[in-house]
Every structure is written in structure tokens, then in C-alpha cells.
Amino acid sequence: MSIASIAESVAGKSPTSVSPESTIADNFDIFLNLLTTQLKNQNPLDPVKTNEFTQQLVQFAQVEQQVKTNDNLENIADLYQESTLSSTVSYIGKTITAEGDVTKLEGNGANWDVKFDDDPNETTITISNSSGKTIYTENVNFNIGSNTYAWNGQNDFGNPQANGLYTIKVSATNADGKTIKASTMTTGVVTGVDMTGNIAVLNIGNRTVKLENIQKIEA
């Protein structure tokens, strides 16, 4: 049995039937038996070179090392996930402010934080419901830096809107008439943690917030 065929048998085993470590051990015993038999029955006039056996032993060691490396990486991944879950759970019940344009209308109002790196001259606020329909539009005077925008929950006709999620859009220009960028942030109480995706996210009611987008945490 060659080292190649043994390595293939290790790779082809189902992880549910036998572990790679036990397969390597079993095949290594077979390899040693074959090696011993070859040595006993080789042609004295044309003996197998020692370096051929050495190469096969080195290949066995490389396969075993790769299996151990894979196991260590899996253990590290598990520990990282457990650590991430433990740290994110600590956010539950706390009020956070994070980058985002969606917030929840509760009662008679909803708030967003709006930040400008340039001095805004003219700014228009547009609020849409969860279906994407524009509900409210307003021209607002903002200052450079951080601002708080409070919406009273009414549409353009002064009619109160149902509680739910609403999206804000900020369009602004500076004194030269050039469009400037606004960063919008949303605030809410963390109600849970979602680990089902590739990254952990925090739940704020029906919304989700990435950890990297959090700007402020309050008890």
C-alpha cells in the first residue's frame, strides 16, 4: 500500500464514521507491516533505498500534521464564536446609538441623530414608511457636527402615523451649493443577539445593528 493510497483513504472517510486520527494510526500500522515485509523479502542484489522509506514516513507525518492543524483551527473558531456571543450578550438591555437610517416610531415621535462634517446650508429631510412610501418632507436648519432630529410622527397633512419602522433620508448642500454627506444614526434598546449569519448583530426591536456601527452605549 503506497502513501498516496493511504492518504486518499484518510481523506475519503466520512467524519461521522471514523476520525482521521484513528484512520491514520490504522494505516500507519499497515504501512509498517508492509515495510517490514518488503525488507524481509527484498532482492539483496537490488535493495530498496533507505530514502524511499524515509520519504514515505515524512509524508505520513505531513498528513497527520495537517489533520491536527485543521482540528486546532476548528477549536479556535469555536472559542471565537463563544467569546463573541458572550461579549454581545452584555449589550442586551442597554441603549445604543448606531449608524443607520431606520428607527422605530413609538407613541408620538421618533428620533435620529444626524452628523455633518461640513457646514450645511440647506437640508431636506424625507421620511418613508416600511413600504418605501414617502410620508413626510421638511426643510431643516442643521449645524456642522452632531444634531438631533425629532419627528412628531405625523405625515405632510398632519395625520398621525402608525407605530412601526421608518426610514430617514437627508439631502444637504453647503453654502457653495455642493452636495455634502450626512451620517444618520438611530437609537434604541438592545433586545437580543443574532448569531445565525456570518457576523453577530444586535436586535433593536425589528431592526438589526452591526457591532461595528455602534457609536454610543448607555446603561
Are 108 and 54 part of one and the same domain?
no
The C-alpha atoms of residue 31 and residue 6 are separated, in whole angstroms, by 9
**Secondary structure of 192-204 in the HEC alphabet?**
EEECCCCCCEEEE
> Does 22 or 155 have the greater pLDDT score?
155
The C-alpha atoms of residue 24 and residue 41 are separated, in whole angstroms, by 25
Q: Which domain holds residue 29?
A: 3-89
C-alpha cell at 70: 485543521
Domain-terminating residue out of 42, 70, 89: 89
Are 7 and 77 part of one and the same domain?
yes
Are 107 and 210 part of one and the same domain?
yes
The mean of the pLDDT values for the chain is: 79
Q: Are 161 and 105 in contact (CB under 8 A)?
A: yes
Are 54 and 146 part of one and the same domain?
no
Residue type, 151: W
Are 186 and 124 part of one and the same domain?
yes
Domain-terminating residue out of 56, 89, 122: 89
How are strands ordered across the β-sheet holding 95-99? Answer: 145-151, 110-116, 182-189, 95-99, 214-218
Are 109 and 37 part of one and the same domain?
no
pLDDT (tens digit per residue) in 128-165: 999 999 999 999 999 999 999 999 999 999 999 999 99
Are 35 and 76 part of one and the same domain?
yes
Q: Which of 67-81, 111-125, 156-170 has the lowest mean pLDDT?
A: 67-81
User: Is the pLDDT score of 188 beyond 50?
Assistant: yes
Percent of the chain clearing pLDDT 90 (strictly above): 38
pLDDT (tens digit per residue) in 165-174: 999 999 999 9
CA distances in angstroms from 207 to 61, 158, 172, 191, listed in the order given: 51, 26, 26, 10
Domain-terminating residue out of 29, 64, 89: 89
pLDDT at residue 121 in the model = 96
Are 124 and 212 part of one and the same domain?
yes
Are 31 and 123 part of one and the same domain?
no
Report the number of distinct structural domains present in the chain: 2
Are 84 and 103 part of one and the same domain?
no
User: Is the pLDDT score of 17 beyond 50?
Assistant: no
CATH number at residue 202: 2.60.40.4070
